[in-house]
Structure 1
């Protein structure tokens, strides 16, 4: 490893010998110590506009190991940065320091006292996980930021986080009882509110603890009047250190004084928190207004009339952005008339109680439930959907192509909010910043927005700085706070004198010097901060490469660079439940294996900064290793608020990384599966026998780069295409409106032909005439997923040539495999932009359910199943296709369904078959899908349209097989479905019944030889 000397102008690590530091950490800390370029690049920024490459990263396995990390760093004089979810918007989670990531291991609920309503937690526990563990006793932690699915309690304490529920429960500081802290010089203690007697005992004991208590008391005595006069008396003052918590009337509370200090003073090891009861019932009133300023004007009156749990606002601009992105449309449809809205939530012990609160408010306002500008609801699911739409503001307003960057966190007295917004909009206009969305926690006067700063040119950066200075003056003129929620960090640290004055800023410096005299705790933030326009993630000196690419990136101005910039660090890919994104992160807990971490490394790969962590471009092993565990599930394409499509970026990277070089054997074995499947048609029984002969199978897997634990798929003795031709029916006329082309994907054609046969039966029952291409065709999926994009383009061009008569006639193409359908809808148009046939195919391809729900002849009804079923949606179905039609078709068929929200199955095409991926593949399956199938009642159907999902379910120790929806409906055509459908599956020909057990070496003996042959051919070309 090449040693590097890290340095920073802010009291950092200039001249630090990182090699010795790294060796000491590895020798003395029970944790994962990483000084490699990949890890440093993944942690180079947070959710802000700023970027600093860390010295290294430590992931401690225990709180004690975290404390040991600080001790080793102190010996070397290395700066330290504690990090939780890394979503900070002020730059407080990026620094040239040793980053301690607490989230992977130090995430326990240590103790719970339900009677006292308190708990003790470690800093890495995620808020939603904490509240899940507290749910059984009916308690929760009150503050709930929009990042609740992935923010950690340590990060919330560091930033003094709030969220919408702070209207009822206050900020994090209001809910912290005690903290266990560690200073950089090794003093460790619990701190909290301190009586005079406790203070005297602490001072009498002597030592560093006495020094801290005495110094804090002397500091507040010197600045008592300044603190009382200079701290804004508003509910959302988050800027600055909480010196007001040291005032006698506030109990001289050192714990609360340290909340919001952003890791610049101490390391928090554990926290004792106050808890609140989970409300029994909630209701919501949504009020419409002509504009956001009018909505803000109403806030003071609302606060006089009621005591809401939440009082949130969103404007028409945010709604417009959601509609443009097709996001949260159900919630938007429920909004009342108006161009801006206030969401007023009430909590209570009964439905009658919360309904009464809502109706009383409407009566006082002179409105009622019938007013078109009012929506009233006591449906918890509907309310949560609407609140999620509001929570999505950060992501929605950050979406390209607007290039919106962050300055969005001011707070003013609620009674002055309307006038403040009018002046803020005037300031936007003065700088030419058109149409920023305005939204936020209006009940506490907190405003969020994202502004289209130009941070890529010198003039743009200069305007950015001038705007921040002017905006700070404006906030202060209204008696407000620079930060109403997300803290100061670097984004607002330089501006603090405007808000507090020089004397209080001097007090902050003295408080910092008391706890961290050598300025080694997250230096350059809050106190002696870096300039607001320094160390920008982009900046006027950013000079990234602009590589030629295979994909067209039409939604990113045909720029791979711009596509990579979609990631703004929101961190939804670090969530632990719900949706699909990001399965590898959920299983590993590794930043580098999150969508965000990979995007950070791709950003570094663009080599736009002199200190870029990744220096070898497309050949980067760091990027390759980070992408290796990407399942290409495309979950991020839909679940990431900014639409990052890491599956596409991975394919793009692999195509360049291996250009002119020998690829991994699995790329030849699995990437060329459609070819090997066609070759196997010569003698499928012989191929199957060879693939399952113990010695041959083992050798074949090894040669093909396939996981030894996976069994080979059995090729059907009669493929679907052969079966279809044997029917002897003429091909229907493409111009016949009853004609549909059934797409013979590799899986349904060669491995699970019963799926396609069943689809033919159901489609014909619905009155359609089914056509199947007589020449071999393929969507190119396996070549795309392995980054063999030149070959994929050739395959796709040949496919559209074969399909051309049907494409010209407008004939629907019905696809049964979700991943193939997603290729036609999303990948193919980007891979071959401008090709009219590809565009026609994208428009004409339909899922099986879409064809039957939206295009079946009037009067046709699907066969009745009248059964319960659990349904595993394929990841590509979730991300690209959506499943509304599937849900409707199952409803019409009489299925009572539980559609799993359990995430990816873990197999994901070739991923789970590749050597080195098996354990992770199964770990991902065990996070949701496999346990859910095991727990399903014996009589329930298990439905999964994806070949990978069916395979994982069958081979994952569930004791169950899964059906494609087409198979389930075909069973119903034969009469009432059997009580135990797995026995029905056993009636298939043996070559089909054993598919579910077999899944890898279809290509194996052939593929092993092919890999060798390909390698030999490569060497011949090179020589």
Structure 2
């Protein structure tokens, strides 16, 4: 093919000529997968991690690679635009479009094969990087590139973006770690591509048909633009902008896989990838160097590079300050040396002595005024890397600061010029009055990350943003750098590429696009023939969201629900499959809509007054209700989400308005009003227990209460904790440490009163005078979780009346049930923000462990000397933290294995509600229940949360978990800790391991929990 005859893409807007109804019908009839054109799904996929928003035509979740191929064929038949998407975390807008979205992550996520001899593997595009590396670990291998989103980014997305990460210092970008790709063009050509020797290239260019046409066209592109590529492509390790035309040069082996890497779904759809692997480092050390400022740190990078680090990252004092304000990584921040900017330098080696020698050589060579710390244990290394990996979340939604945005997020320059570039960039910030945004990034490769407080809600602010990025683009080009050093071009930089490459190479990009996708149907408007960088904005000058009246006060969002709904920055940490709590329902279902991010997208669309929003019914929206239905309200996102999205609060707010003036689900009456029900049952608990033990009575009661038929009705205590307290005669003993109020929450009082008795005994032994309220009280938790917020406010006001004198005397309130304690520490002040006693209640409420440490630090708890598996309650994890409990357990001689296994799955009323059982059990089987089954007979099982204990009790493990108070009280008497509650087994029996099959079955059942509008073929 003559180079002059290379086609240019046809510029067409995405929806032009697409009949969405006919397209949906054909996809349903021909594709083995889940075809979703409903409003909720389209809302959930309307944006990524960028400033942009485009509502898709529909979403296809293929069950197999072959099904994805058929989906492309259907789109071709209809001329529909197509977007192949991975984890959806892209920061340049490449993962949102008015197109049919292919989401690979739910099903097409297999490791197909491993070739240990050649260090290669074949994968499907939906596999998550961390999941892949967990499977490769048994072979001593891993995939080298590691973006900060490694817990949730997919290999397909990494290929589309040419991802890098901190380990690119040692291993390079994705393009440097690919052997072959199996790709599919929009017009149906399916082929494996990779490096092509001269003989193979001659054969392919001589071939008939579309394959020959493609290879002749690529050869023509190479021949026409080779000189310009060598001249104008920056000679830096972090050039991610533009198409990889350099991969076609002879010196790179005419590597078609390399050419297509980083093409952001604009040229082909990736079906399989054969990856090149590297050995897992045997030993590592991390040296942290402290500098006076970030520019000085950047100046020192070339000297550090002489020590051949495996990773070299820079972090400024602003990032550290923001993490401190947001309470991120507190332990790791304490390990930093003196300084206001830091270089994190990782050194790898085959032996501990080798890495220690490298670390000492680096430290000995540093300037005297540079501080340092260094570690060679995995725990500290991991904690310190999280400081760097938290960068995006830490710099978004900083309290007291304007919101920051991507837009000039990841430029890269030659490393020797990095310090000067940062000085010029700071001057540019000042010129545009953007203050002092944090800068951090992959300094060993000259790549700089930053989020800037752009005003994206006014014409003036958007014009200023545009002027800034145009000047910034010219600045980075003057340094011989790249507009993108990691996150790709998408829409943020597509329009600016001409400034970097010149019009001739832009024509080359367009001709390559025309060769592979002449109709411009593959992710149109990104990289080439791009949308303007200031259109399709998620906000924009005409952004005037609906501002509904709310019950919660939203103090961290200026009192506006619209700001809370816009908190999500799309980083996708809620889609991680291990570690932390967030997001249990996503882990069970692998559904975007059942991730924190997906729900946040729907809430954003609910308040968005844009005319094309798919969610139009406000608080009455069925789409939002369905998305929130599987939210466990665990509050894990309040802590785990980098943007501190608090979906439990948003769910309670939504349910309050959604059902206002309407009949509610039965469970809202039975479990929402549980405190009142429990007080009524207390009149005749034996009778109620006897009745509910009769199968047909239990079935009827559960049906009337909207309770899952698979659940057992909990046994009510025959004597409540508060009844025992009154019979006991009230307070006794020493009060040299002062008075404390033990809070008689509903769960302790009516179901597990032995915990309350144990807490009283422990506190009195520690020297406190214990009080218990003499009137019925409640925190309002069950009404909050079911969205009955008016009742919750009334209940809280009554509680304040009862506690007011104690609160004003400064008396601590000890919470034994973590979820109720969390209400006092977090929810109450947002429900009743104008009552000063609510603030007193927040400040004075402590967990048992916190009180013992803070008010009785010299008291030594009794020795228990046992091993324990410990399940943290999600609300304690999210609101109070668990450090005090760890310390008290350690002082008592308990060797505690605190599980990082996520939510127990019961989560208050969630796991009891009809229709939630399968997802509830899938959550439990993800970590908690296997850990309990595997614990030997001598190992205690600890869980302070009623839900956590009930889930273990009802799962057939043969174990009855204990509360911390019960363990300490048993130690006071020198007894073995044993649960004292109805139905508790006296022997800690061990049942046979259920195996992975149970978890997989539960996950599969949970995945069926999708709306009826979603048809699977």
TM range (shorter): over 0.9
| Superposition deviation, residue 555 in structure 1 | 1.3
- Hey, what does 1:534 align to over in structure 2? 535
1:375 match: 373
Residues 416-473 of structure 1: CA deviation (Å, up to 9, x unaligned):
1111111111110000001100110011000000000000111001101111111100
Q: Is the 8 A contact 1:279 1:347 kept in 2?
A: yes
Secondary structure class of the residue paired with 1:272: strand
Whether contact under 8 Å (1:414, 1:444) holds in the other structure is: yes
Aligned residue runs from structure 1 range 811-822, under 5 A: 811-822=811-822
Asked whether the 8 Å contact 2:56–2:99 carries over to 1, the reply is yes
Q: Is 1:155 aligned with 2:153?
A: no
| Deviation (angstroms), 1:184 | 0.3
Give the aligned partner of residue 997 of structure 2: none
Structure 1 residue matching 2:334: 3-state secondary structure: helix
Preserved contact between residue 715 and residue 982 of structure 2 (Cα < 8 Å)? no
Q: Distance in 2 between matches of 1:349 and 1:237?
A: 31
| 1:910 alignment partner in structure 2 | 909
Aligned to 1:941: 940
Q: Say which SS state the counterpart of residue 922 (structure 1) adopts.
A: helix
For the residues of structure 2 that align with 1:358 and 1:731, how far apart are their CA atoms? 60
- 1:732, distance to aligned residue in structure 2 (A): 8.8
1:109 to 103, 108, 111: 111
Report the alpha carbon displacement of residue 569 of structure 1 after superposing the two structures with TM.
0.4
**Residue of structure 1 equivalent to 2:606:** 605
Give distance in 2, aligned partners of 1:285 and 1:685.
64
Aligned residue for 1:334, secondary structure, equals coil
Secondary structure of the structure 1 residue equivalent to 2:228? helix
Residues 374-523 of structure 1 mapped to structure 2, 5 A cutoff: 374-401=372-399, 402-406=402-406, 407-523=408-524
Structure 1 counterpart of 2:992: none
Give the distance between the partners of 2:669 and 2:13, measured in 1 at CA: 52
1:55-81 Cα offsets, whole Å, 9 max, x none, are 000000011111111011000000000
* Equivalent residues of 1:400, 1:556 under 8 A apart: no
Deviation at 1:737, TM superposition (A): 4.8
Query: Does the 8 Å CA contact 2:960/2:984 hold for their aligned counterparts?
Result: no
Task: Provide the C-alpha distance between the structure 2 equivalents of 1:242 and 1:187, rounded to a whole number of angstroms.
Answer: 21
State the 1:960 CA deviation: 1.1
Work out the CA distance in 2 between the residues paired with 1:692 and 1:389: 52
What is the distance in 2 between the residues matched to 1:391 and 1:215? 41
Offset, 1:157: 0.2
Paired position in structure 1 for 2:998: none
Equivalent position to 2:63, from 52, 61, 64:
61
Match of 1:783 in 2: 783
Matched, 1:832 2:818: no
Match of 2:1012 in 1: none
Question: Quick one: distance in 2 between partners of 1:284 and 1:730?
Answer: 54
Structure 2 equivalent of residue 969 of structure 1: 968
Distance 1:989 1:612, change over 3 A: closer
- 3-state SS, counterpart of residue 405 of structure 1: coil
- Alpha carbons of structure 1 residues 677 and 991: separation in structure 2 relative to 1, 3 Å: farther
The residue that corresponds to 1:1009 in the other structure is: none
**Distance across 2 between alignment mates of 1:676 and 1:994:** 29
Equivalent in the alignment of 2:307: 306
Distance in 2 of aligned mates of 1:919 and 1:142: 37
* 1:897 CA drift (Å): 0.9
The DSSP-based 3-state class of the residue aligned with 2:148 is coil
Deviations 1:487-539 (A, max 9, x none): 00000000000000000000000000111011000000001000000000000
**1:735-746 alignment, distance < 5 Å:** 737-746=737-746
Q: CA deviation at 1:380?
A: 2.3
| Cα distance in 2 between the residues matched to 1:878 and 1:839 | 21
Alpha-carbon distance, 1:301 to partner: 2.2
Contact persistence 1:108–1:122 (CA under 8 A) = yes
Query: How far does residue 762 in structure 1 lie from its aligned partner after superposition?
Result: 1.1
Deviation at 1:976, TM superposition (A): 4.0
- Contact 1:766/1:857, CA 8 A, preserved across alignment: no
Name the structure 1 match of 2:41: 39
- Report the equivalent of 1:893: 892
Q: Provide the rounded CA distance (Å) in 2 between the counterparts of 1:265 and 1:568.
A: 27
Q: What do residues 965-1017 of structure 1 show as CA deviations (whole Å, max 9, x unaligned)?
A: 1111112222142xxx6xx44xx4646769999xxxxxxxxxxxxxxxxxxxx
TM-score, structure 1 as length reference: 0.94
Rounded to whole Å, the distance in 1 between the matches of 2:938 and 2:981 is 23
User: How far apart in 2 are the matches of 1:857 and 1:446?
Assistant: 48
Question: By how many angstroms is 1:584 displaced?
Answer: 0.2
Give the deviation of 1:731 after TM superposition: 7.6
Deviates more, 1:121-130 or 1:949-958: 949-958
| 1:652-699 deviation line (CA, Å, top 9, x unaligned) | 000010111111110000000000000011111111122222222111
What is the correspondence of 1:79-228 to structure 2 with a 5 Å cutoff?
A: 79-228=81-230
Could you say which residue in structure 1 is the equivalent of 2:869?
870
CA contact under 8 A between 2:113 and 2:123: conserved in structure 1?
A: yes
Q: How many residues align?
A: 977
Question: How far, CA to CA, are the matches of 1:222 and 1:85 in structure 2?
Answer: 36
C-alpha offsets along residues 613-671 of structure 1, whole Å, 9 cap, x if unaligned?
A: 10010000000000000000000000001100000000000001011111111000000
Residue matched to 1:635? 636
Name 1:1019's counterpart in structure 2.
Answer: none
Provide the residue aligned with 1:692 in structure 2: 693
Which residue of the partner structure matches residue 996 of structure 2? none
Structure 1 residue 846 corresponds to structure 2 residue 846: yes
* Residue 712 (str. 1) matches residue 685 (str. 2): no
Q: What displacement does 1:833 show?
A: 0.2
3-state SS, counterpart of residue 300 of structure 2: helix
Q: Deviations over 1:168-210 (max 9, x none)?
A: 0000100011000000000000000001111122233321111
Q: How large is the Cα RMSD of the aligned pairs?
A: 1.6
Give yes or no for contact 2:291–2:370 (8 Å, CA) kept in 1: no
Q: Which runs of 5 or more structure 1 residues have no equivalent in the other structure?
A: 1-7, 998-1023
The SS at the match of 2:206 is: helix
**1:928 counterpart = 2:930:** no
From the superposition, tell whether residues 994 and 466 of structure 1 become closer, same or farther in structure 2 (CA, over 3 Å): farther
Once residues 833 and 213 of structure 1 are traced to their aligned partners in structure 2, the CA distance between those partners, rounded to angstroms, is 67
Rounded to whole Å, the distance in 2 between the matches of 1:818 and 1:935 is 25
Relative to structure 2, which stretch is displaced further, 271-280 or 605-614? 605-614
Task: Report the 3-state secondary structure (helix = DSSP H, G, I; strand = E; otherwise coil) of the residue aligned with 1:451.
Answer: coil
Deviation at 1:739, TM superposition (A): 1.3
Q: TM-score, normalised by structure 2?
A: 0.95
Q: Is the 8 A contact 2:289 2:343 kept in 1?
A: yes
Structure 1 position 21 matched with structure 2 position 23: yes
Q: Distance in 1 between matches of 2:952 and 2:492?
A: 48
Q: Deviations over 1:831-865 (max 9, x none)?
A: 1002111111111111011111221273x211111
Output aligned runs, 1:987-1006, within 5 Å: 988=980, 990=982
